Chain A
C-alpha cells in the first residue's frame, strides 16, 4: 500500500490556486450572479436617476458631476456585490453547528481552503455582474468618464473583492466564540455601505472624517475601485493599490491567526 504524500514544491500555490479556479467554475455561480446583477442594476439605475436629478447642467459636488457619480455608483455596487452578502451568515452557521469540522478531514489549512474557494467564487461573481452595472450606467448617463479608469478596474476590482472577503472571513471567526454572526454581519455590511464609500464617495464626508475613512480597510472594498474608475491618475493609482495590498497583507495575517485559534477551538469543543 502506498500513501500519497504531498510533493512540497509549489504545492500550496498549486492547491489553493486550483481551489479558487475550480470554485469559479461552479455552474450555480452563473445563475446567482445573473439574479444579483439584475438587482444591483435596478439599484444602480435608481441611484443614477437620483444623482442626475440632483446635479443638473454640469453641476458637481467635490469634483463629482452626474456622469462621474453614476459611474462611481455602478462600479461600487459591482465591487461590493462580488462577495455574496449571505456568505458570512452561511459560514458562521457551518462553524457554529460544527459542520465545518468535516473539512478538517482533508490535509489542508481550513481558512486557506475557505478563503481560496470563496475568493475564486467572488471574483467570478464580480466579473459576471460588472458588465450589467456598467451597461446601466452607460445607458442612463452616457459613456464612461475615463477609459483608463475602467482599465484600472482589472487590478483594483479583484483586490477590492479580496479585501471585502478577508473582512467577512475575519468577522466570521467570531461565530466560534459568541456563536452567532448576524450582528457582526449587520455591522460589517453597514460599514461597507457608509465607511466603504458604496453609497457616497468618501470626499463627501465632512472635515477629517473623509481622510480617516480613506485609509481604513472598508475604503478598499468600494471607494478605491470606484474612485479610480472615474478619476484616474497614475500617482493615486499606485497609492490606493498599495493601500489595498497593505490591507490584504494585514487582514490575511489577522484572519489566518483568528481562524487558526478557531480551528483549535473547533477541535477542542467538537463544533
Chain B
C-alpha cells in the first residue's frame, strides 16, 4: 500500500447529459449538460476525519462515487490510497469501506454472521484472520448477540452496527460514510458517532462523512469541506468554519428586577423577551459586541449574562444560502 495522502483529486469534473422537455414522437428532446462537479481539488491525509457536506445537488454523491471507483469523471485526476479509482476499481475495493445510510449491504434474510462470512469470501480474507477480526469488531461494536439475528428483525441502530462490521472486516484504510445516521434515534446516532471516532483513533482509519446532520459533523469531523455547484466553497476546521462565517453572537441576559425589557437594541435581532430576561442575536457587522453588552448593563442591573455562538446548523445554512445566491 502506498504511503502518500489518502485522497488526492485535481480538477475533478463531471458532466451529465439530461434530456429536457416532454417526450414527443415528432420532435427530439433537447439535451442539456449539467455540471455536477466543477474542477474539484481535494487532498485528505491518512487518518483524517472529513465531513464532506453541501446542500442537495451540490455534487457530494458524485464525488463519492468517483472516489470509490464506480463513476468515471469527465476530466481531472484522482488517486485514492495510491490507486486511480475508476481504473483500478476492484483493487481499490479491497482497501475502502462504504456505509450508505439508505442502502444496506446486509442480506435481509440471512443471519448477520452469514453476511460477514460472505464478505470474508468476497474480500478473500483467510479463515483465521476473518475469525479474529470479526470477534474484535463484534466486541468493539458490542454486537456479539446480533450474529445469529437476521437484519430484518433488528432495530435500525443494530443494523447500522452490523453494517459497520461488514464494511470493516477487510480492514479498509478509508471508510466512506454517506448519511450513516439517517433514520436513527438519538441514542443510536450518538453510539454510531462514538464508534466511528473510536475506530479512527484506534486503527487510524480515514473517515469521509457526508451528512446533513450537524451533530455528525461536530462530533466526528476534524475538518469540514463544503461544496456547492460542484465547487469547494470552504475547506477548514470546524473552529475555522465558525470563525470565518460566524458574523453574529447570541446574548442571553437575566436582569435583577422585573420591568419591561428594552424592546430595541440597535444592530440586534430580538429573539425572546420576558420581564426579567432578554435574548438577542448581535450582528457583528453592524455593532461591536462590547458596545451591545455595555448598553444592556447600562439599561438595568444585570444578574447573569451569557454570550454564545449560534448553532453550527445556522452557520452552514448561511453558507448554503450565500452559495445559492
Instruction: Considering the complex, give the chain B residue whose CB is closest to the CB of A5.
Output: B94
> Which residues in B have their C-beta under 8 angstroms from that of A3?
1, 94-95, 170-173
> Which residues in B have their C-beta under 8 angstroms from that of A2?
171
A267 within 8 A of B: yes
Q: Is the interface of A mostly helix, strand, loop or mixed?
A: helix
Q: How far is the CB of B304 from chain A (nearest CB, A)?
A: 50
Cα(A22)–Cα(B126), bound, Å? 18
**Contact yes or no, B124 A7, CB < 8 A:** yes
Cα(A101)–Cα(B70), bound, Å? 6
Instruction: Considering the complex, give the chain A residue whose CB is closest to the CB of B69.
Output: A104
B155 within 8 A of A: no
A239 within 8 A of B: no
> Which residues in B have their C-beta under 8 angstroms from that of A101?
65, 70-71
Chain A residues 148-167 with CB under 8 Å of chain B are: none
Cα(A1)–Cα(B205), bound, Å? 9
**Contact yes or no, A104 B89, CB < 8 A:** yes
**Contact yes or no, A18 B109, CB < 8 A:** no
B 172-206 binary contact with A (CB < 8 Å = 1; else 0): 11000000000000000000000000000001110
Cα(A6)–Cα(B107), bound, Å? 22
> Which residues in A have their C-beta under 8 angstroms from that of B72?
267-268
A27-B171 in contact given A3-B95, A22-B118, A106-B122 (Cβ < 8 Å): no
Chain A residues 1-52 with CB under 8 Å of chain B are: 1-7, 11, 14-15, 18-19, 22, 25-29
A208 within 8 A of B: no
Q: How far is the CB of A30 from chain B (nearest CB, A)?
A: 10
Which of these, B121, B123, B126, contacts A18 with CB under 8 Å? B121
- Which of B70, B72, B107 neighbours the largest number of chain A CB atoms within 10 Å of its CB? B70
> Which residues in B have their C-beta under 8 angstroms from that of A14?
121
Cα(A7)–Cα(B203), bound, Å? 24
Cα(A161)–Cα(B65), bound, Å? 35
Interface range, A side:
20 to 34
Chain B residues 75-120 with CB under 8 Å of chain A are: 86, 89-91, 93-96, 98, 100, 103, 105, 107-110, 114, 117-118
> Which residues in B have their C-beta under 8 angstroms from that of A266?
70
B237 within 8 A of A: no
B129 within 8 A of A: yes
A107 within 8 A of B: yes
Instruction: Considering the complex, give the chain A residue whose CB is closest to the CB of B125.
Output: A4
**Contact yes or no, B121 A107, CB < 8 A:** no
Cα(A101)–Cα(B109), bound, Å? 22
A106-B93 in contact given A1-B203, A99-B103, A270-B65 (Cβ < 8 Å): yes
**Contact yes or no, A25 B114, CB < 8 A:** yes
Instruction: Considering the complex, give the chain A residue whose CB is closest to the CB of B98.
Output: A105
Q: How far is the CB of A37 from chain B (nearest CB, A)?
A: 18
B62 within 8 A of A: yes
**Contact yes or no, B70 A102, CB < 8 A:** yes
B39 within 8 A of A: no
A107-B94 in contact given A1-B1, A14-B121, A270-B71 (Cβ < 8 Å): yes
Cα(A47)–Cα(B105), bound, Å? 43
**Contact yes or no, A4 B114, CB < 8 A:** no
Instruction: Considering the complex, give the chain A residue whose CB is closest to the CB of B173.
Output: A1
A267-B94 in contact given A25-B114, A102-B100 (Cβ < 8 Å): no
Chain B residues 19-74 with CB under 8 Å of chain A are: 62, 65, 68-72
Instruction: Considering the complex, give the chain B residue whose CB is closest to the CB of A102.
Output: B103
Cα(A42)–Cα(B12), bound, Å? 59
Q: How far is the CB of B163 from chain A (nearest CB, A)?
A: 12
A254 within 8 A of B: no
**Contact yes or no, A270 B123, CB < 8 A:** no
Cα(A19)–Cα(B62), bound, Å? 30
Q: How far is the CB of B19 from chain A (nearest CB, A)?
A: 11
Chain A residues 93-144 with CB under 8 Å of chain B are: 99, 101-102, 104-108
B245 within 8 A of A: no
A107-B110 in contact given A4-B123, A5-B124 (Cβ < 8 Å): no
**Which 5 residue pairs are nearest across A and B when measured between Cβ atoms?**
A6-B124, A107-B93, A4-B170, A26-B109, A107-B90
What are 17 A-B pairs with beta-carbon distances under 8 A?
Answer: A1-B203, A1-B205, A5-B124, A6-B124, A7-B124, A7-B126, A14-B121, A15-B124, A18-B118, A18-B121, A19-B121, A26-B109, A102-B100, A105-B68, A105-B69, A107-B93, A270-B71
